[in-house]
Amino acid sequence: MSWFSEIFKRGEKAEDVILRSIQTKFSIFVSLLDRNNEMLQLISDMEEKSQGEYLFDINYIRTSIDKLSEGVKEIVGFMIALGGEKYSALKERRLQIMRELENIIHGDRPIPEDDYTIPLEKLNRENHPSVGSKNAQLAEMRNRLSLPAPEGFAISAYAYKRFVDHNQLQTKIDELIKSIDIKNYEDLQRVSSEIWQIVNSSPVPDDLCQSIQNSYNQLKECIGDCRIALRSSAIGEDTIFSFAGQYATFLNVKSDEIIDKYREVIAGKFTPQAIYYFLSHALTESELAMSVGCVSMVDAVASGVIYTLCPVMPEENSIVINSVCGLGRYLVDGVVTPDTFRMSKEDFSIKSKMIVAKGKKLVIDEQGELTEEKIPKAERRNPSITEEQAVQLAKYAAKIEEHYGTPQDIEWSIDRDGRIFMLQTRPLRIIKSDEKMKQIDTSGLELITNAESTVCPGVGCGPVCHVSSSNNLRNIPNGAVLVAPHPFPGLVTAMGKISALILGVGGIASHTAAIAREYRIPSIVGIEDDSELIEGMEVTVDAVNLAVYRGVQEELIAALRESDESFYDMAIFALLERVLKWISPLTLIDSTSDEFSIENSKTLHDIIRYCHQKAMEEMFSEATTLKQKAKYRYLLKTDIPLIIRMLYVDRGKSELPKDKWIKEEAIDSIPMVSFWRGVKQEGWPTYGHIANPKKFRGMVAAGQSKRGQYSEESFAILSREYMNLSLRMGYHFMTIEAMCSPQAPKNYVRMQFKAGGAAFDRRKRRIHLLETILEKIGFVNEGKEDFLNSVLSYQAPEKITEKLYLLGRLTMLTKQLDMALSNDPIAQWYIDEFSQKLNL
Amino acid sequence: MSRKILAVDDEPHMLKLLDRIITEKTDYQIVTTNNSLEVPQILESDEFDVIISDLKMPGMDGMDILKYLEDNDRKEKVIIMTAFASLDTALDALSMGVFDYITKPFKKEQIIATIDKAMLWQQFRRESQTFQNILSQEPFTKALEFFKREYVLRLALRYNFNFTRMSEFSGIPEEELKSILGAPN
């Protein structure tokens, strides 16, 4: 309050100070409403974008969140300026929500300080910021679901940070990227390999080496001499910048190789793709952080992947098990076609199985080396797993799906002793297929070949292009139908330009298949002979009906064009959805309930709503308490017997009218004009309604003879768009506050009324009468007992003026009515009477 | 003839969305790259009608692509995608020969309408070139010959190479039609 005394020192009058104080608060209040309006528009804009009709990018989400963050920050600031420090908890609440949003958007949480290595038994899914999703989910299956899983430990993200900091890698990489003018693709590859070199030749610090070695020794104590699998487990793999599936995994690593392989996994993150990303997005340390899982190798006789729902035919509601002989790499790399078991989700029985010929497998040989083994001809058609094992796997899979609540993509292995190990689980991507797509007459088309199964439904056409390795990927014509003997990692780079994919072998479980689905490339697998597919020949691939036709079959393409236009399976939409969960839902609904609090604000929308409500309340109380002290400069000149003092809060002295008396027609406050029009329409009430006319007549006669004698002074705080009117009529004190601007979200009308004079039951009847009629007008009542507190908000200006006009009329109609409301039927009669009068 | 679009954006998500709507809603073919440095190489091996490019990208940005097209006398029309914030640059881009710009985010229909417009422009350009070519022939008889060939070609497309009907409606003898189109008698 020091500014108060300073002003006084300058000799300013107290009422001027108060006037200026209320003017300042009013301008803060209006700014808050402005921001409130902008933020609500921003939120609805984001909601609109999430509906699937718009194309937007990550920048849109980022910019929107930045704007929201700033806007809500300002709102909170305004709120504290209006209502004081009791609202300062809003700051922390806002920050908490912003942190959640940051986490979703940037994956930009600081790398948590942790041990360099952590045994699996000490982890669960909540540890993903430290050990990455893959490790965390493995531990979750092992520890929380008690499913069989290999022993092992995770090398944490904190260890990565140690490695990077020790070698000052972040700076080196940043500098290298800044110093090089990358002009073409070769430059990019060169830079990328330079960075790879730098990372891969940086020493792993001693303490980290020691920690890894200790953990390995403990593992050895637990399960004996063993080799391990080193698997990358990226941090924030669920964030938008994940380069999932492109990281290295090393199988069968010997104890003396662990450190080198660990470093190689880290270096593997700096692909040309990632470097290009670096150029446009300043990826933070944590976005590049990498945890590595070190788990004991399962000496697998069979391995595979389980989808708890078929990603291509989800309507079938089966659990799909893909399995191959030996290690699972040949399955996920698509080297061999797996056996397929479709299991019932109800009783885990086998609905169907497809056992294919399996020519080879990847195994660990006697010396402990990885080797490819031919499968003898006689055994090729043997199922890779037994039916009992399939049933057991299905049960485990169902348990995992139930635990996570969404369909899962699970990797597993079975060792020589028949023990099952779950290796990994992650959410499964589903594509809807359309049943009606399958009924198309293809009898007139020339069939070249059929396929065994689809990995991504749809139809595509173009010239045939055969590729067999990453080396000949650069010359693929745009729009080509790519034919490959099996999927290989490099294929991913061609996804942007091909129109269909035909694979000799492989299954829906390979990484390539997952990426084809992500890109929605119509893809089929299981072509025994691709010699009919001549290089350059135009073909149409029907990945719904598993056929390849000669030529460009326009009709088929048109008929099979995907009807599902929703983008909901796209990562960017999923991201917006996740972000919106912290932004748009409104959980603070009832402002009168105890739940309406800062602590219960769960979203930014809640904070905005809370501030809007409290700002109105603060402004209201401000206006009602200050007015008595201030000198009100203007009086309303009217034939209605009320003394109304008026104060303008939106203009400086020079803009104020000269004359102390203001004519009704000179009022320029839109809400006041509307309300007063209603007052004038009804006029000062006559006393037909009054139950005890004798008593009243005397009072009113006196009031009419001498202006305002029985009406205390009423006050109006006005701006062009705002009105806070405190009407005192006899025993009654009624406040009407309204904002009427061109922007609907800023607008509201609030009527508060505390009845006086009559007995409690009569006052209650009067409140009930007002409430009922106000509800018909569109107000929501928030008051209790004999206190009326009705609000109407977020309406267009023409609606607001219309409601204010009705309110003006209602005010006159009900003036001092409670004396008449001796019983409920009379009250009801008035309700009906007034409703009819007001055309409600 | 299928009409082709090349989409360039450093944001793969944007490309996936573009790819999806173009494939689902139009007959155009679309090729995408999230590495603008690949653009020259893609253009060396293929021709496009329209290039949709982000304005700001590392390596080659939207304006670099435009310049590359100019320097190499390419006919592709460029549609620039831009964030609202860089609208001024987008307006500058228009003066430098960009066909149109679209501010992100945009509605599916918006980008399709813009592409359609560019495709129509390309069609008009080809038509106009054909007529320029005919009108610049000397002597007059040679121009006539060129015109006749173009006329017959369109006639053939209209009647799906049904020479009897072509002759009936055009009044040109069937033999002559065949010889003009180089079809076997």
CATH code of the domain covering residue B43 = 3.40.50.2300
CB contact under 8 A, B105 and A63: no
Residue A731 has pLDDT above 90, yes or no: no
Please report the pLDDT score of residue A351 as a whole number. 92
How close B25 comes to chain A (CA, Å)?
9
Q: Is the pLDDT of residue B88 over 80?
A: no
Q: Which is more confidently placed, B29 or A224?
A: B29
How many structural domains comprise chain B?
2
Chain A partners within 8 Å of B41 (Cβ)? 185, 474
CA distance B70 to chain A (A): 18
Mean pLDDT of A240-257: 69
Per-residue pLDDT for A244 more than 50?
Answer: no
Q: In what order do the strands lie in the sheet with A459-466?
A: A447-450, A547-550, A538-542, A459-466, A480-484, A498-503, A523-525, A453-456
pLDDT score, position A686: 62
Q: Which residue has the tokens 């002793």?
A: A417
Task: Give percent above pLDDT 90 in chain A.
Answer: 31
pLDDT at A809: 92
Shortest Cα–Cα distance, B168 to chain A (Å): 30
CA distance B134 to A836: 81
Are B103 and B82 contained in the same domain? yes
pLDDT at A699: 41
| pLDDT for res A191 | 83
Top mean pLDDT of A168-177, A448-457, A707-716, B110-119 is at B110-119
Using DSSP, state whether A371 is helix, strand or coil. Answer: strand
Nearest in space to A538 (alpha carbons), one of A558, A553, A520: A553
Checking if the pLDDT of A429 tops 80, the result is no
Q: CA angle at residue A488 from A486 to A490, to 5 degrees?
A: 140
Mean pLDDT of A309-328: 87
Least confident of A66-70, A468-472, A743-747, B33-37: A468-472
Q: What are phi and psi of B124, to 5 degrees?
A: -60, -40
Q: Could you give the percent of chain A with pLDDT greater than 70?
A: 82
Q: Which residues pair with A644 in a beta bridge?
A: A714
Residue A520 has pLDDT above 80, yes or no: no
**Which of A215-219, A245-249, B124-128 is predicted least confidently?**
A245-249
* φ, ψ for residue A61, nearest 5 deg: -65, -45
Residue tagged 């039916």 (tokens): A387
Give the gap in angstroms from C-alpha A334 to the nearest C-alpha of chain B: 24
Q: What is the pLDDT of residue A421?
A: 96
Residues of B in contact with A518 (CB under 8 A): 16
Give residue A672's pLDDT band: very low, low, confident or very high (50, 70, 90).
Answer: very high
| Spatial distance between the Cα atoms of A734 and A788, rounded to a whole number of angstroms | 9
Domain termination site, one of B127, B147, B167? B127
Name the residue of chain A whose CA is nearest to B54's CA.
A57
- Residue ranges of the alpha helices (H) in chain B? 12-25, 39-45, 62-71, 87-95, 108-135, 140-158, 163-170, 174-181
More confident residue, A328 or A786: A328
8 Å CB contact of B24 and A479: no
Q: Is A464 helix (H, G, I), strand (E, B) or coil?
A: strand
Q: Cis link prior to A487 (omega < 30° from 0)? A: no
Rg of chain B's alpha carbons, rounded to an integer?
21
- Rounded to two decimals, the pTM is 0.59
Q: Report the alpha-carbon distance of residue A808 to residue A806 in Å, rounded.
A: 5
ipTM of the complex: 0.77
CB contact under 8 A, B105 and A53: no
**CB-CB under 8 Å, A572 with B13:** yes
Chain B residues with CB-CB distance to A479 below 8 A: 4, 29, 31
- Contact (CB<8Å) B35/A276: yes
Distance of alpha carbon A288 from alpha carbon A242, whole angstroms: 9
The arrangement of secondary structure in A300-427, i.e. its CATH architecture, is 2-Layer Sandwich (3.30)
Is residue A68's pLDDT more than 50? yes
Q: Which residue in chain A has the smallest CA separation from B45?
A: A477
Asked, for residue B71, whether it belongs to a domain, the answer is yes
* Cβ–Cβ pairs < 8 A, chains A and B: 117
> How would residue A708 be classed by pLDDT, with cut points 50, 70 and 90?
very low
Identify the weakest region by mean pLDDT among A74-88, A110-124, A241-255, A381-395.
A241-255
Residues B68, B141, single domain; the answer is no
Residue B171: exposed, middle, or buried by beta-carbon count in 10 A (0-12, 13-18, 19+)?
A: exposed
Q: pLDDT band at residue A122, thresholds of 50, 70 and 90?
A: very high
Mean pLDDT within A57-75 = 92
Chain A interface test: which of B16, B34, B49 (most A C-beta within 10 Å)? B16
Interface test with A, best of B6, B31, B60 (most A CBs within 10 A): B31
Residue A532: pLDDT band with limits 50, 70, 90: confident
- CA–CA distance, A623 with A620 (Å, rounded to integer): 5
pLDDT of residue A247: 60
Residue B132 in domain: no
Q: Can you tell me the distance from the alpha carbon of A591 to that of A615, in angstroms, rounded to the nearest whole number? A: 12
User: Of B127, B145, B167, which closes a domain?
Assistant: B127
Joined together, the tokens standing for residue A688 give 């037909």
| B122 and B152 share one domain | no
Helical residues (DSSP H) of A202-299, grouped into ranges = 206-223, 258-267, 272-280, 285-288
Q: For residue A147, what are the β-bridge partners?
A: none
Contact status of B59 with chain A (Cβ, < 8 Å): yes
Average pLDDT of chain B?
89
Closest to A386 (Cα-Cα) out of A325, A337, A333: A325
C-alpha separations of A434 from A307, A407, A562, B29 in Å: 20, 20, 8, 23
- At A337-387, the pLDDT tens digits run 889 999 999 899 999 999 988 889 998 887 777 889 999 989 989 999 999
Residue-wise DSSP of A144-168: TS------EEEE-HHHHHHHHHHTT
pLDDT digits (tens, 9 = 90+) for A431-450: 655 544 455 677 788 888 88
From B17, B35, B38, residue closest to A570, measured CB to CB: B17
Residue B31 in contact with residue B46, Cβ under 8 Å?
yes
- Cβ neighbors of A117 (< 8 A, separation 6 or more) are A153, A154, A155, A156, A159, A211, A212, A214, A215, A294
CA distance B100 to chain A (A): 17
Same domain, B111 and B142: no
Give me the residue from B17, B20, B33 closest to A496, CB to CB.
B33
User: At A631, is the pLDDT very low, low, confident or very high (cuts 50, 70, 90)?
Assistant: low
Q: Are residues B112 and B152 in the same domain?
A: no
pLDDT at A825: 85
Specify the pLDDT at position A692: 46
Searching chain A, which residue's CA lies closest to the CA of residue B56? Answer: A280
The per-residue pLDDT for A705 is 38
B9 touching chain A per CB within 8 A = yes
Tokens of A494: 């061609």
Where does the pLDDT of residue B124 fall: very low under 50, low under 70, confident under 90, or very high at 90 and above?
Answer: very high
Indicate if B88 and B148 belong to the same structural domain.
Answer: no
DSSP letter assigned to residue A713? -
Residue for token pair 């592409």? B115
Which B residues in the span 125-164 are in contact with A, Cβ-Cβ below 8 Å?
Answer: none
> For residue A2, what pLDDT is reported?
41
CA distance to partner chain A, nearest, from residue B90 (Å): 17
Mean pLDDT of B20-31: 87
Q: Is the pLDDT of residue B48 over 60?
A: yes
Same domain? For B109 and B159 the reply is no
Return the beta strands (E) in A467-577 as ranges.
480-484, 498-503, 523-525, 538-542, 547-550
pLDDT at A72: 97
- From chain B, the residues in CB contact with A58 under 8 A are 11, 13
Measured between beta carbons, the chain A residues lying within 8 angstroms of B4 are 478-479
What number is the average pLDDT over the span A79-95? 94
**Is residue A644 pLDDT above 60, yes or no?**
yes
A704 has pLDDT over 60:
no
Question: Cβ(B62)–Cβ(B54) under 8 Å?
Answer: yes
Average pLDDT, chain A: 82
Interface contact flag, A60 B104, Cβ < 8 Å = yes
CB A477 within 8 A of CB A451: no
Contact with chain A for residue B11, Cβ under 8 A: yes
Q: How far is B151 from chain A (nearest CA, A)?
A: 27
User: Is residue A106 over pLDDT 70?
Assistant: no
The second-level CATH assignment, the architecture, of A443-563 is 3-Layer(bba) Sandwich (3.50)
Distance from CA of B130 to the nearest CA of A (A): 27
**Residue of chain A whose Cα is closest to the Cα of B33:** A496
**Predicted pLDDT at A818:** 64
Cβ-Cβ contacts under 8 Å, B40 against chain A: 184
> Do B175 and B119 reside in the same domain of the chain?
no
Domain that holds residue B152: 137-181
Name the CATH code of domain A117-295 (choices 3.30.1490.20, 3.30.420.60, 3.40.50.1010, 3.40.50.620): 3.30.1490.20
CA distances from A756 to A167, A731, A815, B31, B156 (A): 79, 5, 12, 76, 94
Residue from the list A279, A474, A496 with its beta carbon closest to the beta carbon of B58: A279
d(CA A246, CA A253): 19
- Chain B residue whose CA is closest to A280: B58
Average the pLDDT over A743-760 and give the result.
76
State the pLDDT confidence band at B47, using cuts at 50, 70 and 90: very high
Other C-beta atoms lying within 10 Å of the C-beta of residue B3: 16
Q: Do B14 and A55 touch (CB under 8 A)?
A: yes
Mean of the pLDDT values across residues A727-747?
82
What mean pLDDT comes out for the span A551-566?
68
**Which pLDDT band holds residue A293 (cuts at 50, 70, 90)?**
very high
Among B23, B25, B104, select the one facing A57 at the smallest CB separation: B104
DSSP H/E element including A66: helix A58-83
Residues A402, A464: Cα–Cα separation, whole Å: 43
Beta-carbon separation of A276 and B58 below 8 A: yes
| Closest CA–CA distance from residue B137 to any residue of chain A (Å) | 36
